[in-house]
Structure 1
Amino acid sequence: MNHKDLDVWKRGMDLVEEIYKVTSSFPSSEIYGLTNQLRRASVSIPSNIAEGAARKGDKELLYFINVAIGSVSEIETQLLIAVRLKYIKGDNTIFESAAEVRKLLLGFRNYLNKKE
């Protein structure tokens, strides 16, 4: 399976770009804090999809999909922190993007679970 053909991987890559754009406006004091955390969590999503797809079977792929789902949860929490700190507004479209990636990951996980 080529991870580059997966819609979930493509959308994860889009989310990385969005996170980088959003965090570029964060205060410089956050470069090693929230900015770094959000960026690392976002990069983790397509990276884990790619690593899982390169493994030998669906069981291993499922593990990495679950890790990617965890990263989306981190992002959602960190974005809410950014709202509380007034770095972004609560109506920012980044929340919709993260929710879409979560939905795609959950759908992919359900598909893989049914295959077993």
Structure 2
Amino acid sequence: MHKIEDLKIWQKSMNLTKSVYKICAELPADERFGLISQINRCAISIPSNIAEGAGRNSQKEFTHFLSIVNGLSYELQTQLILSMELELISEEKIKPILKDIIEIQKMNFGLQKSL
């Protein structure tokens, strides 16, 4: 078991989730049950899966949850890029979040390799 508060990837993904929730608050209200819901669920699933994997009994199980995180990070990246291409969010606001997602993807890959 790992102490999640000490995991930098968990800390970074928690900050990412907060940023995503803030940016989603700026999306049109008619997207509340569509894209906003999907983006928020995806974002919160990243630190949640890191935490669940960290709490498991083996490195193999942890690695499995980190592989889920990898897929979620690419899903979130896609949804945010789509939001930008649909002109729902400006590129200026999305770029720092996309940069954070890429950093989390790299951290995740490195953590998986170390396990």
Which category describes the TM-score, using the shorter chain as reference length? over 0.9
Amino acid at match of 1:28: A
Amino acid at match of 2:16: L
Q: Point out 4+ residue stretches in structure 1 off by more than 6 angstroms.
A: none
Superposed CA deviations along residues 48-101 of structure 1, whole A, max 9, x for unmatched, are 011011110000000000001111011110011101110122343111111111
After superposition, residues 18-29 of structure 1 pair within 5 angstroms as: 18-29=19-30
Do structure 1's residue 46 and structure 2's residue 44 form an aligned pair?
Answer: no
Amino acid at match of 1:104: M
Instruction: State TM-score, norm by structure 2.
Output: 0.93
> Could you tell me which residue of structure 2 aligns to residue 82 of structure 1?
83
Instruction: State TM-score, norm by structure 1.
Output: 0.92
Within 2, Cα distance between the matches of 1:45 and 1:6?
13
> Could you tell me which residue of structure 1 aligns to residue 113 of structure 2?
110
Overall identity of the aligned pairs, in %: 35
Within 2, Cα distance between the matches of 1:75 and 1:19?
9
> Could you tell me which residue of structure 2 aligns to residue 94 of structure 1?
97
Superposed CA deviations along residues 4-44 of structure 1, whole A, max 9, x for unmatched, are 11000000000000100111100001111111111111100
Structure 2: gaps of 5 or more residues: none
Within 1, Cα distance between the matches of 2:70 and 2:77?
11
Q: Secondary structure at the match of 1:106?
A: helix
